[in-house]
Structure 1
Amino acid sequence: MPNLKSFKIIFTLLISTLVIVSLWAISVNAQASLTENSKLAINGIGPIRVGMTVNEASQSAGVKLVFVGSGPDAYSCSYFKPQGELKDIAFMVTKGRIARIDISDKRITTIRGAKIGDTEDRIISLYPGQIQITKHPFPLRPNENRKHLTFVPKDVSDKNYRVIFETGNNRVYRLRSGKLPEVEFIEGCL
């Protein structure tokens, strides 16, 4: 017959397991919807991943993605946005699948904390040795110093993904992530 000490140990293990499972379930549910707290990664944002269909992404995010425009051929390239409050997130869809995420919402950050308004130095410090800097080919004003700061991952499994920070006068004003080559399309679906 088990003694009181054995019963306490088993009871403690059971309670600990229930607490861990409950915390795990809460964290999974917290990430199960797309919000302004969702983090941008090289291959998605929150519960939405590059490669999903629009329907899969809508179901995963708990918010309907609605068509907002396309290039000359809607199947080849089109844009969808979340219905509701998150108007500054756009999903480029090519051949029926999400290829990239465009962010112009100051509340959205990358997994490492980069966001709109950050300086170029901050981006470089958040991604040491992994930022390639190129001059933006289309300056808006004659003396504006626009650049692309491109995060290039070191992990071989991520070699076909990038995060691109568009800067003007040393500040991030837009960012995007996704797969090559779409993430590098400067003019989107044009």
Structure 2
Amino acid sequence: MHRLIALFATFALLLAACGNDDAEPEAETEPTATVVAEEPAPATTPAPVDDTPSDEEPGDEEPAPDPVDEPTPAPVVEPTEAPEPTGEPLERPEPIDFSNPAFSSADKLTTAGLGAMFFGMTPDQAGELLPTRWTGGPEDGTPRCYLLAPANGPAGVVVTIYNSSIERVDITNPSITTRSGASVGSTEAQLHELFGARLVVSPYADGSGNSIQYVPVDETDVDYRVIFETDGATVTSMRAGRLPAVAPAEPCT
């Protein structure tokens, strides 16, 4: 069967070959050029712009800015810790007892002062030693010279402040005496017996009495005096202090 098919095919080919040889050759035609339309080039998509600042360091043509000096921070002050309470009672000064008089019969008048009060002290210094509070002040005189008296007495004791210090004390209280025992109420005769030639007597111009000064012989006490005022017979007042404050009959004059 296959052979028959092969033979038939061979025969057909032969017939075809023979028919082509008898036919005239066709005129050759030039191939027609095929025009292919150019497609438009795709539009170029612009690259995205990067707005992020560059981290690159500036080149030599752009010098780096000068460094900014940072301010020095202020030192930190540590708070002081409050002391812890100990529970112990506070020591308070004892109140000053002013019930006793600042001066008594035990305090003697001398050329240096009266009792624990010495000429040249300030009123505050004397007030702590006596002790006392003073009454009076500059309103009773001038700032340069004024009078004070101990608030707790005794009466008849007046202190003169001259140029801010105690320079004089006047006594009319008969309980206050000198170291030798002279006081208000002593006679002129007793004064002469006690002090002798160291007394200088100056009669009053009106003849009503005498001013009798005790003048120290010691060179260190040359500016100090104890002065007795009399009615011509007995002592009515006495005073002690430093010159010039002690000299006038009335203080601050």
Sort the TM-score into its range (normalised by shorter chain): 0.7 to 0.9
1:36–1:86 CA contact under 8 A, matched in 2: no
TM-score normalised per structure 2? 0.57
Name which of structure 1's ranges 76-85 and 94-103 shifts more when overlaid on structure 2.
76-85
Looking at secondary structure, tell me which structure has more helix per residue: 1
Q: Deviations over 1:77-106 (max 9, x none)?
A: 100011123121010001110010100001
Give the superposed CA RMSD. 1.5
2:215–2:224 CA contact under 8 A, matched in 1: yes
Say whether residues 1:164 and 2:234 are aligned partners. no
- Equivalent residues in 2 for 1:20-59, closer than 5 Å: 34-59=103-128
Say whether residues 1:115 and 2:196 are aligned partners. no
Q: Gaps spanning 5+ residues in structure 2: where?
A: 1-101
Give the superposition deviation at 1:129: 1.1
Cα distance in 2 for residues equivalent to 1:65 and 1:111: 25
Displaced runs of 4 or more, over 6 A: none
Cα distance in 1 for residues equivalent to 2:250 and 2:114: 21
What is the DSSP-based 3-state SS (H/G/I as helix, E as strand, rest coil) of the residue aligned with 1:110? coil
Q: Deviations over 1:7-64 (max 9, x none)?
A: xxxxxxxxxxxxxxxxxxxxxxxxxx63232100112000000000000010111112
* Corresponding position of 2:72: none
Looking at secondary structure, tell me which structure has more strand per residue: 1
Give the superposition deviation at 1:148: 0.5
Cα distance in 1 for residues equivalent to 2:144 and 2:128: 23
Aligned residue among 201, 210, 228 for 1:133: 201
Give the superposition deviation at 1:189: 1.5
TM-score normalised per structure 1? 0.75
Say whether residues 1:92 and 2:178 are aligned partners. no
1:67–1:81 CA contact under 8 A, matched in 2: yes
Cα separation, partners in 2 of 1:184 and 1:79, compared to 1, 3 Å: same
1:160–1:180 CA contact under 8 A, matched in 2: yes
2:104–2:175 CA contact under 8 A, matched in 1: no
Cα distance in 1 for residues equivalent to 2:135 and 2:112: 20
Aligned residues: 151
Cα distance in 1 for residues equivalent to 2:232 and 2:200: 17
* Corresponding position of 1:3: none
Q: Gaps spanning 5+ residues in structure 1: where?
A: 1-32
Give the superposition deviation at 1:145: 2.7
Cα distance in 2 for residues equivalent to 1:70 and 1:60: 24
